[in-house]
Structure 1
Amino acid sequence: MTNSTDIPHEFVLFYDGQCPICQKEVAWLRWKNNQHKLGFQDINQADFDASVYGKTHDELMAEIHGVYADGRLIKGVEVFYAAYAAVGLGWIMAPTRWPLLKPLFNALYSIFARNRLSLGRLLSKKSCEKGNCRI
């Protein structure tokens, strides 16, 4: 797999390649990434250095992050909007930006982020049996 930070993209999604849910989402986004505007970076790759972005690995594991081509680092629900927009599907995530719904989506994502590995184990026991799920 190519290290996405070596290829210019409008946006690079940082993801946990050991998370079954994250793996499925990234596979779907790769499939939709026809114009190659979205890059992908597994934060668990040996050559990835979180400190380049002023973060620790634990901070990146706590919630999703991504970086725009101009170096702006974002996190949380806004990352999903940026990733979907990069593949031409920003409209799907548009409600996450609506003032009345934004706090709800942020709260729901916060709960999901804290529990994603447990949810991943429930949804993908086969992957976890191979040792891909960790806390």
Structure 2
Amino acid sequence: MTATSAESSREVYLEDNPPSVKPTWKIKLLYDGECPLCVREVNFLTKQDAGRGIVKFVDIASLDYDPQDNAGIDFATAMGVIHAVLPDGTIIKNVEVFRQVYEQLGLGWVYAITKIKIIGAIADWVYKIWADWRLKITGRPEIDQIIAARQQKLNNSNSTRCKLN
């Protein structure tokens, strides 16, 4: 179940069975592990996190990726634009993700200027152009081909697992 807030870059995911233990991370970053530029950014952020566990990095390209563990964000949606989930279930996307990740890691000054409404809107507009073109720019197939290939891999991995009767 989701509830959309007034901001287009935020929504809250209300789990049917919320966990009884509060997560130790401050923000869960969903990233495309098959995107070379995305991986480069994640490697940089991982170094900044320095094992503190502030950011939980989730590779949406992994066959183990499960939307239910990630506020219901399915693979296709996550591939469209960057998403993150806050411990309270709030879903954020676009430049807001970068702003909050960098703030959590003590680098908030990098994206601070995007807090100014007009600059934030321009940054989101530029990011949207990047998001729309990132597959082509990084030499990857179109999204429908990626989704079909992923589904095929999932089907193959499910058929080779042991089944109990």
Give the TM-score normalised by structure 1.
Answer: 0.80
CA–CA distance in structure 2, aligned partners of residues 57 and 111 of structure 1: 20
CA distance in 1, matches of 2:137, 2:114: 22
- 2:61 alignment partner, one of 41, 44, 50: 44
Contact 2:31 2:82 in 1 (8 A): yes
How far residue 82 of structure 1 moved from its aligned partner, in angstroms, is: 1.2
Q: How many angstroms apart in 1 are the aligned matches of 2:137 and 2:92? A: 24
| Correspondence 1:76 to 2:94 | yes
Distance 1:32 1:50 in 2: 26
Asked if residue 31 in structure 1 is aligned to residue 47 in structure 2, the reply is yes
Provide Cα deviations, 1:46-99, integer angstroms capped at 9, x if missing partner.
Answer: 221124523321111000000111211111110011111121101101111211
TM-score by length of 2: 0.66
Once residues 24 and 8 of structure 1 are traced to their aligned partners in structure 2, the CA distance between those partners, rounded to angstroms, is 24
Q: 2:120 aligns with which of 102, 113, 124?
A: 102
Letter in 2 for 1:12: K
User: Equivalents in 2 of 1:94, 1:134: separation in Å?
Assistant: 34
Q: Determine helix, strand or coil for the equivalent of 1:40.
A: strand
Q: Which of 38, 61, 64 does residue 22 from structure 1 map onto?
A: 38
Alignment-derived partner of residue 66 in structure 1: 84
For structure 2, the 5+ residue unaligned runs are 1-22, 143-165
For 1:14 and 1:107, the matched residues in 2 are separated by 20
Aligned to 1:89: 107
Q: What is the Cα deviation at residue 22 of structure 1?
A: 0.2
- Show structure 1 runs of 5+ residues with no match: 1-6, 122-132
CA distance in 2, matches of 1:63, 1:100: 20
> 1:96–1:22: structure 2 CA closer, same or farther, 3 Å change rule?
same
Which residue in the other structure is 2:29 paired with? 13
**Deviation at 1:36?**
2.6
Q: How many residues align?
A: 118
